[in-house]
């Protein structure tokens, strides 16, 4: 793993990694309940040709976890402030799941900050959500389901990975479990409920994202697993239809974690896309 570094972002002690000294910068943005740790199969390969940054956004990983409720607009502002804090005027963005919402919002609102955009199984493009996520939107039930434990980590792996047996190793379960302490689960649950309910993503939330997609000026690469149970593959069609300059690559026998399940192909596609 890279060396942990910390920077103050609007009063939030924020953990990040910085690897690589040549090429254009890349900012890796994890999803809800994730952290920079999840990019361990990608960051060093990408850093051979780029300066790569990966952060734990507020409420995640080793960054501070305030008791306040953050919306995705707040998280977008936080990532922009992080870029300022590490002197990144602009960057290529590689984002997954809930991190994709942040990247799309930033790309549409501040086009000068996003050189190229890679979305991997992005949330915010379709109403459908996994049943477990929908249950989490219900007060009381969500709190009961989102308890830190090894079984919670294993449940998440089974939901996210197509071949979950390949990820149910002690090492990977440890990675997932240490990223899901109670503070993180509570923070992410509050954010999740600002954008979703039992029926899926809220219509007004989806509309705000869909309306912003034509404003994305950055060339965009959309990567998706055909068997994604968390953010179903139909969301990729929305991105392709609405983002002006976009390419799509679908992965078969792949769930939500394209960058972990098909690492070599993912890294190669991203590097080729950024090279064009």
Work out the number of other CB atoms within 10 angstroms of the CB of residue 179: 23
Burial class (CB in 10 A: 0-12, 13-18, 19+), 74: middle
**DSSP codes joined into one string, the chain:** -PPPEEEEETTEEEEEEEE-SSSSEEEEE--TT--GGGGTTTHHHHTTTSEEEEE--TTSTTS---SS---HHHHHHHHHHHHHHTT-S-EEEEEETHHHHHHHHHHHH-GGGEEEEEEES-SSS-S---HHHHHHTSTTHHHHH---SHHHHHHHHHHH-TTGGGG-SHHHHHHHHHT--HHHHHHHHHHHHHHEETTEE-HHHHHHHHHHGGG--S-EEEEEETT-SSS-THHHHHHHHHSSSEEEEEESS--S-HHHHTHHHHHHHHHHHHH-
CA distances from 105 to 28, 99, 100, 168, 208 (A): 15, 10, 8, 34, 9
> pLDDT value at position 40?
97
State the pTM of this model.
0.95
> pLDDT value at position 141?
84
**Band of the pLDDT at 138, cuts 50, 70, 90?**
confident
Contacts of 143 (CB under 8 A, 6+ apart): 189
Q: List the beta bridge partners of residue 118.
A: 94, 221
Mean pLDDT across the stretch 162-175? 96
pLDDT of 215 strictly over 80? yes
Distance of CA 68 to the CA centre of its chain: 21
Q: Which of 51-65, 131-145, 158-172 has the lowest mean pLDDT?
A: 131-145
> pLDDT value at position 137?
83
Mean pLDDT across the stretch 234-255? 97
pLDDT of 130 strictly over 80? no
**Band of the pLDDT at 71, cuts 50, 70, 90?**
very high
pLDDT tens for 80-123 read 999 999 999 999 999 999 999 999 999 999 999 999 999 999 99
pLDDT tens for 220-234 read 999 999 999 999 999
Per the model's pLDDT, the better-predicted residue between 144 and 11 turns out to be 11
pLDDT of 244 strictly over 90? yes
> pLDDT value at position 91?
98
> pLDDT value at position 128?
83
Buried b (16+ CB within 10 A) or exposed e, 33-52: bbbbbbbbebbebbbebbbb
Mean pLDDT across the stretch 68-74? 96
Calpha distance 272→108 (Å, rounded): 23
Neighbouring C-alpha atoms within 13 Å toward the C-beta of 50: 25
Domains of the chain with bracketed CATH: 5-128+200-275 (3.40.50.1820)
């Amino acid at each position: 793993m890279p060396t942990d570094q910390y920077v103050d972002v609007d009063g939030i002690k924020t953990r990040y990694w910085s690897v690589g000294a040549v090429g254009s910068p890349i900012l890796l943005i994890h999803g809800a309940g994730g952290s920079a740790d999840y990019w361990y199969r990608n960051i060093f390969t990408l850093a051979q040709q780029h300066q790569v940054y990966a952060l734990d956004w507020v409420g995640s990983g080793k960054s501070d976890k305030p008791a306040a409720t953050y919306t995705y607009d707040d998280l977008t502002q936080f990532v922009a402030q992080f870029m300022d804090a590490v002197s990144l005027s602009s960057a290529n963005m590689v984002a997954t799941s809930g991190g994709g919402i942040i990247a799309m919002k930033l790309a549409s609102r501040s086009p000068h900050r996003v050189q190229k955009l890679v979305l991997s199984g992005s949330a915010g493009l379709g109403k459908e959500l996994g049943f477990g996520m929908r249950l989490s939107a219900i007060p009381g039930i969500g709190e009961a389901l989102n308890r830190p434990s090894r079984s919670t980590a294993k449940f998440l792996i089974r939901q996210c990975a197509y071949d979950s047996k390949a990820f149910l190793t002690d090492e990977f379960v440890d990675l997932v479990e240490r990223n899901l302490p109670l503070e993180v689960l509570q923070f992410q649950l509050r954010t999740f409920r600002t954008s979703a309910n039992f029926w899926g993503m809220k219509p007004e939330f989806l509309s705000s994202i869909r309306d912003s997609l034509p404003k994305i000026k950055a060339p965009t690469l959309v990567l998706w697993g055909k068997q994604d149970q968390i953010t179903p593959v139909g969301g990729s069609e929305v991105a392709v239809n609405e983002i002006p300059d976009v390419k799509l690559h679908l992965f078969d026998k792949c769930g939500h974690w394209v960058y972990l399940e098909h690492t070599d192909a993912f890294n190669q596609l991203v590097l080729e896309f950024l090279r064009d």
